Chain A
Amino acid sequence: MIDVRDLRKSYGTLDVLKGVSFGVAKGVVVVVLGPSGSGKSTMLRCINQLEDYQGGEIRIDGVPVGYSTGAQGRNAHSEAVNARLREQVGMVFQSFNLFPHRTAIDNVMMGPVHVRGVAKAEARDLARALLAKVGLSEKADQYPAKLSGGQQQRVAIARALAMQPKVMLFDEVTSALDPELVGEVLRVIRQLAQEGMTMIIVTHEIHFARDVADRIIFMDDGVIVEEGAPERILSGASGARLRLFLRRYQGDYLAS
């Protein structure tokens, strides 16, 4: 479903992505691990064209993202085309990014009502169902300021799901949470995985990665260093850079 080939991106003279290639089939959950600055978030943001990229190709269901290469070379897609693409790719952010001037349920309704033109009553029913799914029915009329981090993030997930996307992208969604709130968010993500949602998850939660991932990708310095099934990648049989990373993030993870 998602096909990334030789993705290259730089900010001015700084090369952030140096030729990243991988694919994600429908229903598969890929977890991306890597140190800060490895380009994981940037890669995610290229997939839904929140960032542009200078080289390579990204396709979702065969449709190119952001640019089309024709006889005349590379043509950037218009914002209209990119916006349509983003309707099918849901994204959840590290800092939640809920709209503070709207209630939880209004946040969830935002996509269907203002992008798809769904009638408010219908959108409200859908939003209620999604809030129930993430376990926040009773918080529907609360403003984000009154919700805990974990609750806000779950609302953010519901908001992304309201657009019924083909793919969900998670950008370090638990990194800004207090430890005791991380579990409630991971539970929702695990449930989505079980329901067969295609997902790319960037995270530092290595135990969670092992649980939920069909495949793990380890990125460092703008390239994919290792890729494979969790059991293999996270066992002792991995390369030096990955072992260093794991040691830093989970201390004695390898020992456990």
Chain B
Amino acid sequence: MFNVLLGNLPYLLQGALVTLWLSVAVVGLGTLLGVGMGILATTRSRVAQTVVTGYIFVLRGIPVLVVMFLGYYAFPAFGLRVNIYVAVGLAQIVYLGAFVAEITRSAILSIPAGQIAAARSLGMRRPAILRQVILPQATRIAIAPLLNSALTAVKQTSYASVVGVWELTYAAREIVERTLAAFQIFIGVMAIYFLICYPLSLAARWSENRLSFSH
């Protein structure tokens, strides 16, 4: 029943490799960008706060696929030729960054003001307060939601296929077009995505249990 799938497995696995690279880049850079912006949003600079909240607000109101299309067409619109992976990857990074920024921002703001007052009254200044009081606690609070948004971003790489990026889903649809064995191919694709995502979802569940009431 699964001969076609098995026959085309090598091709699918190549696609899976591309998906993996794409996922690592998007999650890695998107999280970095988002954490940076999230921390910026909690400084006293009005400019920083406005910019970041604006960025979060706009991006959370647009579907990721639309952002990807925008990324695809943005560069040519300005006369630039950019690799399609870079263009669409950047779009996803910017998109993930907005969600991560919001998670980071709320985690930092959830630290009770009383602790900040206590730290200040000891003579601590903002960098030390961030490093010693805020970030250790905010990180624990943010890890589970961050892992969840990473998981979502990995799955969203499949949308890139709609824009024309060659990765696992694109490869799957090529095979289906050629062989018409849609069901077994997509069962295989489902299994591969599950295997890619499994470590992340395990980590997310583990962090929920281990870190929520640890202090």
Contacts and interface: CB of A to CB of B under 8 A. Distances in A.
Q: Do A and B truly interact?
A: yes
A100 B121 CA distance: 17
B123 A83 contact: yes
B136 A101 contact: yes
Interface stretch (A13-21, A53-61, A84-92, A188-196): A84-92
Interface residues of A, number: 28
Main secondary structure of the interface of B (DSSP, over half): helix
8 contacts: A83-B123, A87-B122, A91-B118, A93-B117, A97-B115, A115-B123, A143-B215, A160-B122
A83 B120 contact: yes
Output the residue of B119, B120, B121, B126 with the most chain A CB within 10 A.
Answer: B121
Contacts of A25: none
A101 B136 CA distance: 8
Output the residue of B115, B118, B140 with the most chain A CB within 10 A.
Answer: B118
Contact of B122 (A101, A110, A143): A110
B120 A99 contact: no
Contacts of A160: 121-122
Interface in A69-84: 79-80, 83-84
Output the residue of A86, A145, A163 with the most chain B CB within 10 A.
Answer: A86
Size range of the interface on B?
20 to 34
B109 interface: no
Contacts of A163: 122-123
B171 to A, nearest CB: 46
Output the residue of A50, A89, A114 with the most chain B CB within 10 A.
Answer: A114
A97 B123 contact: no
B120 to A, nearest CB: 6
Given A97-B117, A99-B115, A83 B124 contact: yes
B205 interface: no
A87 B121 CA distance: 7
A101 B215 contact: yes
Interface in B183-215: 215
A157 to B, nearest CB: 12
A115 B122 contact: yes
Nearest to A49: B120
A89 B118 CA distance: 12
